[in-house]
Chain A
Amino acid sequence: MPVETWLIFILGFMILGSIIALELKDILSSVISIGIVGLGVSVAFLFLQALDLAIVQFLFEIFALIILVRAFIGKEYHIKEPSKSHVIQTVVTIVVLLSILALSINVFRLLPQFGEPIFSTARHYVENGAKETGAANIVTAIILDYRAYDTLGEVTVLFTAILGVLAILKTRSKTTSPAGGDHETN
């Protein structure tokens, strides 16, 4: 089968999984259904010849599942307060979003067909990457050599996020339990 057919199948599966995840009442089932979407993205990356991205997306999905399960499972609030949805708000949102989708079809007609790359910036990297950097993997050559400052910024953002998480959790353990160490048992 051609790649496009596989991708249509995977994308339909992912849309189904995300709708199920948003509509389920049980929060553990929702988190697992989000896992369908993330791993579907990973498989789609494999079909699109993006091997590094498939591995990174797989790891991201596992870490995100661990974080979400660790943080949210065990809080019994869903049993105490069942979720009530606003019918008019939901209907209006669905109608508006469907009209946006219908209008966007004309925009996607203007793009080149699937399989013809839109960007041509990377031609220099592909032709001279091996000579200039010595790396066989062009993606690695770009993120670690040509655009190393981007990677430095990425590490800075990640470090700042970890600092934010630590700061927020630290405040809680100070206010709720003077003995400290409470955030370990959450």
Chain B
Amino acid sequence: MIVYILCFALFLVGIYGALTKRDLIKIILSIGIMGYAANLMFILFAYKTGASFAILTEEGINTNMVDPLPQALILTSIVIELGITALLVTLAIRLFEKYKTFDITKIRRLSG
């Protein structure tokens, strides 16, 4: 249970960064931290004590494995996170070129 609470604490650190930091780069890093914590939480749920990795060996069928389904889903999630990071970084670069700053309180030249 302590492991779950620590993993949730890592997620909350990410939320803290995204809420209080004014630097756009720090916000992108905070979103990354939240992604790490969410991925790790799923794999923590999938772990079974004393079980081996989900690869079959020669010696018969060994069904004492960790749950392979969350691992497959998180594999997809990690790859998509890379795309999200790249897109956020590109948007931040464009904002920097237009406003010459990464401070989100100064990026507000809106008309609506």
Contacts and interface: CB of A to CB of B under 8 A. Distances in A.
Interface of A: 3-4, 7-8, 11-12, 14-15, 18-19, 21-22, 27, 30-31, 34, 37-38, 41, 44-45, 48-53, 56-57, 60, 63-64, 67-68, 71-72, 75, 77, 81, 83-86, 89-90, 93-94, 97, 100-101, 104-105, 108-109, 111, 113-119, 121-122, 125-127, 129-130, 136-139, 142-143, 147, 150-151, 154, 157-158, 160-162, 164-165, 168-169, 171-172, 176, 186
B87 A164 contact: yes
Given A22-B21, A49-B47, A142 B69 contact: yes
B75 A115 contact: no
Interface string B1-37: 1111111111011111101111101101110110010
29 contacts: A3-B49, A11-B9, A15-B10, A18-B13, A22-B17, A34-B32, A37-B33, A48-B44, A52-B71, A64-B82, A68-B28, A71-B92, A89-B19, A101-B12, A108-B8, A114-B1, A114-B4, A117-B47, A119-B45, A122-B68, A126-B65, A137-B54, A139-B54, A142-B69, A143-B72, A154-B80, A158-B80, A158-B83, A161-B87
A151 B67 CA distance: 19
